[in-house]
Amino acid sequence: MPRFDEDFKKQIVRLHLEEGKTIRGLASEYGISKGIISIWIKQYREECQKKPELKQEHDYMLEKRELLKKIAELEKENLFLKKAAAFFAKGID
């Protein structure tokens, strides 16, 4: 079984927590079992309970993920409103 360094593990956990990538997707992309990734995530969360600086980092990752999700929603709404405005502007002429 291959060994993975701590930086690589942390990167995989970050991709899941911060960017919202699925465990299945990460497993497929990096050729790692879903079980191993789940263990890394669990270990990271356990470490966060013991170390306040990691807890802050964890909270930051989750907050960033939520903000990215909101940005994506707002971009969709903005695009819709632009299309609606263009549609109604045609009707006025």
CA distance 73 to 34: 29
Containing H/E element for 93?
A: none
Helix (H, G, I), strand (E, B) or coil at 4: coil
CA distance 60 to 2: 30
Helix axes 6-17 and 23-30, enclosed angle (nearest 10): 140
pTM for this predicted structure = 0.69
pLDDT at 42: 95
pLDDT exceeds 80 at position 1: no
60 to 34, 41, 55, 63, 71: CA distances (angstroms): 24, 15, 8, 5, 16
The arithmetic mean of pLDDT across residues 14-41, rounded, is: 94
In the chain, where are the structural domains located?
6-68
CA distance 52 to 42: 16
